[in-house]
Chain A
Amino acid sequence: MTISSAISGRRWRSSLAPEPRPAWQEKPKAATSLAKGSALILITAIAVVPFWVELSTSLSTNHQLLRNGAGFTLWPQPFSLQAYRGILQGGLITKAVGVSLGLTLVGTAASLATTVLLAYALSRPGVTGGKQVLMMCLFAFLFPPGLIPTYLVVDNLHLLNTYSSLVLPVLVNVFNLVVMRGFFQGIPSELYEAARLDGAGEWTTLLRIVLPLSKPVIAVVGFFYAVTYWNQWFQGLFYLNDASQWPLGTLLRLLVTQGSNVDANGSTAAVINQNPIAEQAATVVLAILPILLVYPFTQRFFTKGVLTGAVKS
């Protein structure tokens, strides 16, 4: 059973009509159905409302927020893009968005390439040293080296205060590696044999046969990596001294921790004056937006990509 069938239906149907109730199942009482419906609505609301509040606050103006005397608004009145204009007209946040975009593109490409190559090599049965390398990867997963030693390695390689320090220390994720290897192993061996008979070497087999068949797993693992890089904040804080080099996440953390430092006795106006709330909300929305845009497209791959890979291994 797969995730997509879990999400989309016992049997695959596209209609809005309910599926027939299994014969053995009691018909629920009206009160039960009502309770279930309300629970689902409540759960969805808890998940969605924070996004909505953040979005409408970001589309409001500080002036208006101050007049309302609250740090949020449920409906932007007047509707304004002022906060976005404010943070995107140059300055730290604009730079940080650029850094994060670049980091996500370069980082995802580098991680994906390394992972595909290693996963492919490890997926071929009987490859020299394959077992040892796989054990090495899995042990690293169980026993991660820790913050300080990793910092020392980055320092000794003279990567401090370079953008490489955001990518190289997190280049390969073992979970992604295992998922991808599992997917490659699931490709019928006849295809490999056919390719070999046609005189294809390993590189040709990988590029011409395996990769075109592996779009789902590439999409999912690529999405995982992209999300990791886009969300990254700690590496920036740890390895980069200069705030003007920081990716969006690191900068956002500064805003967030300032928010939690607010004196419990401070008045609302003081809080809003201290942090321009609309700008902060707009920054948060910018940090969510790319994920939100890509998320629906990768969802349909989750089944084929992750589950087949994960189950195999």
Chain B
Amino acid sequence: MPLAVKRPPNPPEKTRGRAVPAESASIRPRESVWRRIRRDRALLVMMVPGVLYFLVFQYGALFGNIVAFENYVPFLGFAQSQWVGLANFATLFGDPGFWQALRNTVELAGLQLVFFVPVPLALALLLHSVLRGWVRKAVTSVVFLPHFLSWVVAIALFQQVLGPTGLLGGVLSGGGSHLVNVFADPSLFKPLMIGELIWKDCGWATVIFTAALFGVNESLYESSAIDGAGPWRRFWHVTLPGIRPVLILVLVMRVGDILTVGFDQVMMQRDGFGPQVAEVLDTYVYFHATVNGDWSVAAAAGLFKGVVGLVLVVCANKIAHRLGEEGVYR
């Protein structure tokens, strides 16, 4: 690089310098790599299991994505399987089932994005206005709990309530003997998915939003009230700007999850609704591999999903930065 500035022989230590004895940092010249490794050997040993995990199961697996460019035959392994370049992607993009899955995914994710923020925000505002601490605590603890259940359990509970023989099953079928199955009616798939998501994870977002609401400066409310602002204007001009960073953080996190939309949730219910309505990208990958045995095309779909997901998070994060917020990372 032509513009490279000549490095001073002893680069200034960063402010939060490591707790090495102060004199060694200032007197000795820059330590060689080997010396530093020797110095940090205890810490490096501590890193070994974690780093091994990432290298093998994250980066090793990332490398395994080459099967997306092969005609992978499990019997041959990926060293022997034939290299086919982008043929799998051609097959993938020619498959209407894939586009259906992609559309379902994006639609579901969009709906979730729209519905997921207002409900917990409303609940957080409601809780914030409650003056009895024990009421706040009790309600928060109760609505937070489902977040820790698995989707298997959550859907079992939903079936017990909304299923044909469940608590509200009779109500839903209008008292007739003909059973309505909420879990198999294609027109109800999306509302059901969103309802389940809200039931399960609303409490999680509520906790985050409530914390943010309590972080808003009280004196701003006070002065705006003195200036004659009513509850709505205070909400619009004080509350919303005050919790903006948290709102944007939650939104960015959900945007990153768009393509991962409810794999667990859909896996439990896909059979009832059928793949036409209930296939999302992740289930497409799974069933293409395990049922059709088409590992390469499945891997191609997975890789497509991963790349688009990465692009989405990076974009969402860029937008968050444009808006002057931290986002997920810097």
Interface residues of A (CB under 8 A from B): 1-3, 5-10, 13, 16-26, 28, 36, 39-40, 43-44, 46-51, 53-54, 57, 70-72, 74, 113-115, 117-118, 120-122, 124-130, 133, 136-138, 140, 142-153, 155-157, 168-169, 171-172, 177, 189, 192-193, 196, 201-203, 206, 227, 230-234, 238, 249, 252-253, 255-257, 259-262, 264-268, 271-272, 277, 280-281, 284, 287-288, 291-292, 295-296, 299, 307
From B1-9, B57-65, B97-105, the one touching the partner chain is B57-65
Q: Taking beta carbons and an 8 Å cutoff, which residues of B are in contact with A?
A: 14, 16-21, 33, 36-37, 39-40, 42-44, 46-47, 49-51, 53-54, 56-65, 67, 74, 77-78, 123, 126, 129-143, 145-146, 148-150, 152-153, 155-161, 163-167, 169-170, 177-181, 183-185, 199, 203, 207, 210-215, 218, 221-222, 225-226, 230-231, 256, 263-264, 267-269, 271-272, 282, 285-286, 289-290, 295, 298-299, 302-303, 305-307, 309-310, 313-314, 329
A147 adjacent to B306 (CB under 8 Å): no
Task: Specify which chain A residues have a CB less than 8 angstroms from the CB of B132 in the assembled complex.
Answer: 16-19
A264 to B184 alpha-carbon distance, docked (Å): 7
Nearest-CB distance from A303 to chain B (Å)? 9
Residue in B59, B145, B167, B329 whose beta carbon sits within 8 Å of that of A72 in the complex: B167
Is there contact, CB below 8 Å, between B153 and A284? yes
**Among B42, B146, B207, B264, contact of A6 (Cβ-Cβ < 8 Å):** B207
Asked whether B59 lies within 8 Å of A264 as measured between CB atoms, the reply is no
**In the complex the two chains form, is A40's CB within 8 Å of B139's CB?**
yes
Minimum Cβ distance to chain A for residue B305 (Å):
7
Contact, CB under 8 Å: A268 / B268:
no
11 contacts between A and B (CB under 8 A): A40-B139, A53-B167, A72-B160, A128-B36, A129-B44, A144-B306, A146-B285, A150-B64, A152-B61, A260-B272, A291-B145
Interface of B is mostly: helix
Judge whether B164 and A8 touch: CB under 8 Å.
no
Contacts of A22 in B (CB 8 A): 218, 221-222
Q: Which residue of B lies closest to A168 (CB)?
A: B57
Distance (whole angstroms) from the CB of B247 to the closest CB of chain A:
15
When C-beta atoms are compared, the residue in chain B nearest to A138 turns out to be B329
Q: By the criterion CB–CB under 8 Å, are A7 and B160 in contact?
A: no
A312 to B88, CA, bound (A): 44
Contact of A152 with B148 in the complex, beta carbons under 8 Å: no
Given the contacts A152-B61, A252-B153, A292-B145, A145 and B306 also touching, CB distance less than 8 Å: yes
Given contacts A148-B295, A148-B299, A150-B64, 5 further A-B contacts (CB under 8 A): A9-B133, A118-B47, A129-B47, A253-B267, A284-B156
Query: In the complex the two chains form, is B135's CB within 8 Å of A122's CB?
Result: no
Whether A233 pairs with B152 at a CB distance below 8 angstroms is yes
- Chain B residues lying within 8 Å of A47, measured Cβ to Cβ, are 142-143, 145-146, 199, 203
Write out the residue numbers on chain B whose beta carbons fall within 8 Å of the beta carbon of A143: 62, 306-307, 309-310
Known: A227-B148, A264-B164. A124 touches B43 (CB 8 A): yes
Q: Tell me which residues across on chain A come within 8 A of B138, comparing CB atoms.
A: 44
A3 cross-chain contacts in B, Cβ below 8 A? 207, 210-211
Most chain-B Cβ atoms within 10 A of its Cβ — which of A53, A148, A193?
A148
Residues of the A chain whose Cβ atoms lie less than 8 Å from the Cβ of B218:
22
Check B164 against A268 for contact (C-beta < 8 Å).
Answer: yes
Please, which residue of chain A has its CB at the minimum distance from the CB of B288? A148
Question: A40-B126, A44-B142, A172-B50 given as contacts; is B179 within 8 A of A147 (CB)?
Answer: no
